[in-house]
Structure 1
Amino acid sequence: MYWKKPMDWMRSFPQGVPLTLLNILLMSLGFYALIPYLSYYLTHSLGWTAFLAGVLLMTRQFSQQGLTFLTGMVGDRVGYKRLMVLGMLVRGIGFAMFGLFDHPAGLLAAAAVSGLGGAMFEPTRDAALTALADPADLSRVYAARKVFAQAGLALSAPLSAMLINLDFRLLSYACGLLFFGAALLTQIRMPEVTVQSQPLPFVSMWRIVLRDRTFLLFVAVMCGHYFMSMQSFLTIPMQVVAITGDVRAVSLVNLVMATLILCLQVPVNRRLQKFELLTQMRIGLGFTACGLVVLGLASGMGLFLTGFLLFSIGTMIMEPAGSEMTARLADKEVYGTYFGFASVAMAVGGGLSQGAGGWLFQTGADQGIPMLVFLCGGVAGGLAIWGLNGLRGQAPSRVLFRFGKNTKF
């Protein structure tokens, strides 16, 4: 088991994968230390409405996921390392800008810049992981990616709790520095990763993806997943503050989620080995949807934590399964383009989650229906499960995958 021999477990990955996982930890630490507190800072310290805070988060979401198709294609052409480093630097600048401005125009610019940085490194990072990993070992690599991301989330709780009590600006600067550090580490230690023997025209890469109807349907299904999962950045933190009256509870929720995933991610993936990927995704979507409904019903921490447990299990199932499905469907010479286009689902689903989610949360509270946004999340999950049935019927030979017999968690 990986927790008994962590160094041996890390050495079992090909060159470049352990460094990428470490970078994921650093970037996750910087991201989760800042973003969950950003909505509280905007609505309480600056007096913004929940809707306006949602618009800012939606701006970051769309500026990131809305551009990943283009940045993924660029990464396929020029190599993944160069774009990863540039993206980390831009994200660091964007996070620092949150501390420099306190007016809407400056903060919206910070959101757009930080999103642009993410658009540069996110598809290229995932494409690099896929290109470096053994195809038979993709499931373990994506599970490890989730574990390292959640380790960063766990470490973010004490960092953010300490700095938020001092000054939000210190928190934003510290999180920006973490991305600068990840950029330096990548530039020094990351091997070059290229997948095209001869550069393909951008139009050709575009057509490969847009003609892949099975993949396009899969991306549409993932919009429902991201509508649900992205509630963790706005409405779930607002819900726990509404229940407890204490902003520090946001750190507790992040710590609980990180601990659950650190302890359960690998055992859960091991348990799911016997199921095909589509079945895993149905299970994950079902857990996430049920968790959101329970969260909406919660008026105390007991029921809230129950719903949050279901929600966390659902996301820890869905994210590795969704990434593996993308890798399995992708043409190996355009991994970045496929992963970039897959992020369109996060742009649409996540953008609506944070934009409409803030409005639904505020409207539900005003109309005496506080669980409105969480019910809408449950409906989105049900529609996504229904969409998976269409995916299976359209191209069963491409989407019915199981973990390989040699996959070792």
Structure 2
Amino acid sequence: MAREEHTDQPIWPQDIRRLLWMQGVMNTSHFMTIPLLALYMSANLQFGAAALASVMSANLLCAQVLPLAAGAVADRFGSHRIITLGLMLRGLGFLGFGCFDGVGAWIGCAVLAGTGVACYEGGVYGLFGRQPRERLSALFASNNQMLNAGAAIGPIIGGLAALGQIRVAFGVSAILFILLSAVAHRAKFGSSVRFVRQPMMKNVKAAATHAGLWRLIAVSLPWFFLFPQLYVAFPMYAGQLAGPHAASAIYVLNGVVGLAFIMLAKRWMTRVNPASLTTWAYLGAGFAFASLAVLQGIEWFLLFIVAYTVIETLLLPTLESMTASLATDGSQGTFFGVMSAVGALSGAAGYYVGSWLIVNRSPAETWSALGSVGFLGFTVSVLLLRRSQSNGSLH
């Protein structure tokens, strides 16, 4: 990444800079097809709510449970090969989405793609977590900036590719992931990072018995429940309000607003108490989701997406930097894996509940229920996060 004035943004090692750029390209490929996935299953393949949620949950569970193993492997053996494998598996999974129509086949492809996410993120976040602790907030803010750039560009490309046939978007995304795996194989990410090669079970035990990590996990669970709505409830509701193209529009808006906000607020975010940032972001989430119970219509929903994106852009890098700050030396990937694995349970519940609410309940009931989860996150944050926290550690 480019340097900031003075010391606000450090000059990252070359392999970390390359990895940040790859995060942007990877998310471009990801968001080429994700906006179309739930809508394609319901409108084109005629999948019911249970089948749709099963596909999405299979992807989520593999993507968030398997990082426990992937992170431990990356901690023990390094990240290069597991990042390459992850990108290849994602490409094969998306290729399958373009080739098959049955529920069982789609669940299998979702497992493949989700396993790819687990391998890729286990390697990436293991590397990020090994950067100097005083730079973690800036690094994860930069990571969020690149991810938002991809989230802004990807839906536009995917929407254009899908004008003739949605399967074309799946194919283009698959090819891009496979090409990225070839780039990752040659780039040898992690060359600048010193790995403390401890036994994998020692790393798992260190993470599983860390009280501060479990407090942070408890704080994160409401967000893990709300975040999957970006892939299920949001596109389905936008489709109900304004047709299928509205689903892609919300992802473009999500990416553009997120990119603009992180560019404006990145320096500020690195200086604010992360506990306070998390607490107030949850309060904002509660009010934002609940507001849709009374403010119905596509214009209000798009305004909600703006508010949601600001909240997401605050919460994600803050939770990631706190996780990295808690990790003991040599077990960074494993700490992220434990956080991800436990969060998968809440995320899977979010997929099922969100899709069921959109299909079976009124907008007022749907958004009131989701808003209550945001208020729960606020309450848990107040109880478990100490406002005196200033360095990302939980005491």
Q: TM-score w.r.t. structure 2 length? A: 0.92
Aligned 1:102-121 pairs, distance under 5 A = 102-121=101-120
> Following TM superposition, by how much is the alpha carbon of 1:208 offset from its aligned partner in structure 2, in angstroms?
0.6
> Following TM superposition, by how much is the alpha carbon of 1:274 offset from its aligned partner in structure 2, in angstroms?
4.7
**C-alpha distance in structure 1 between counterparts of 2:3 and 2:293, whole Å:** 35
Aligned 1:180-219 pairs, distance under 5 A = 180-193=178-191, 195-197=194-196, 199-219=197-217
Aligned 1:234-383 pairs, distance under 5 A = 234-244=232-242, 246-364=243-361, 369-383=362-376
Could you report, residue by residue, the CA deviation over 1:130-182 in whole angstroms, capped at 9, with x for unpaired residues?
A: 22x33222111111111111111111122111122222221111111121122
Q: Which amino acid aligns with 2:359?
A: Q
Matching residue of 2:78: 79
**C-alpha distance in structure 2 between counterparts of 1:358 and 1:58, whole Å:** 11
**C-alpha distance in structure 1 between counterparts of 2:288 and 2:322, whole Å:** 24
Distance 1:377 1:123, change over 3 A: farther
- What is the DSSP-based 3-state SS (H/G/I as helix, E as strand, rest coil) of the residue aligned with 1:332? coil
In structure 1, list runs of 5 or more residues that go unmatched.
Answer: 404-409
> Following TM superposition, by how much is the alpha carbon of 1:383 offset from its aligned partner in structure 2, in angstroms?
1.8
Distance 1:192 1:4, change over 3 A: closer
Give the one of 370, 386, 391 matched to 1:401.
391
| Contact 2:233-2:355 within 8 A present in 1 as well | yes
> Following TM superposition, by how much is the alpha carbon of 1:195 offset from its aligned partner in structure 2, in angstroms?
4.5
> Following TM superposition, by how much is the alpha carbon of 1:256 offset from its aligned partner in structure 2, in angstroms?
1.1
**C-alpha distance in structure 2 between counterparts of 1:362 and 1:191, whole Å:** 44
- What is the DSSP-based 3-state SS (H/G/I as helix, E as strand, rest coil) of the residue aligned with 1:13? coil
> Following TM superposition, by how much is the alpha carbon of 1:296 offset from its aligned partner in structure 2, in angstroms?
4.2
Give the one of 376, 380, 384 matched to 1:391.
384
> Following TM superposition, by how much is the alpha carbon of 1:111 offset from its aligned partner in structure 2, in angstroms?
0.5
After TM superposition, the runs of 4+ consecutive aligned structure 1 residues lying more than 4 A away are: 1-5
Matching residue of 1:134: 132
Distance 1:57 1:113, change over 3 A: same
Q: Which amino acid aligns with 2:262?
A: Q
Q: Which amino acid aligns with 2:183?
A: L
> Following TM superposition, by how much is the alpha carbon of 1:20 offset from its aligned partner in structure 2, in angstroms?
0.7
Q: Structure 1 residues 257-266 or 289-298, which shifts more? A: 289-298
Could you report, residue by residue, the CA deviation over 1:252-274 in whole angstroms, capped at 9, with x for unpaired residues?
A: 11111111111111322333455
Matching residue of 1:407: none
**C-alpha distance in structure 2 between counterparts of 1:374 and 1:54, whole Å:** 18
Q: TM-score w.r.t. structure 1 length? A: 0.89
| Contact 2:94-2:170 within 8 A present in 1 as well | yes
Distance 1:54 1:296, change over 3 A: farther
The alignment covers a number of residue pairs equal to 391
Aligned 1:168-187 pairs, distance under 5 A = 168-187=166-185
**C-alpha distance in structure 2 between counterparts of 1:27 and 1:160, whole Å:** 13
Q: Which amino acid aligns with 2:234?
A: I
**C-alpha distance in structure 2 between counterparts of 1:73 and 1:66, whole Å:** 12
**What CA RMSD, in Å, does the superposition of the two structures yield over aligned residues?**
2.4
Could you report, residue by residue, the CA deviation over 1:66-113 in whole angstroms, capped at 9, with x for unpaired residues?
A: 111111101111101111111111111011110111011111100111
> Following TM superposition, by how much is the alpha carbon of 1:316 offset from its aligned partner in structure 2, in angstroms?
0.5
> Following TM superposition, by how much is the alpha carbon of 1:119 offset from its aligned partner in structure 2, in angstroms?
0.9
**C-alpha distance in structure 1 between counterparts of 2:69 and 2:292, whole Å:** 36
Distance 1:4 1:204, change over 3 A: closer
> Following TM superposition, by how much is the alpha carbon of 1:3 offset from its aligned partner in structure 2, in angstroms?
10
Q: Which amino acid aligns with 2:184?
A: T
Distance 1:320 1:4, change over 3 A: closer
Matching residue of 1:144: 142
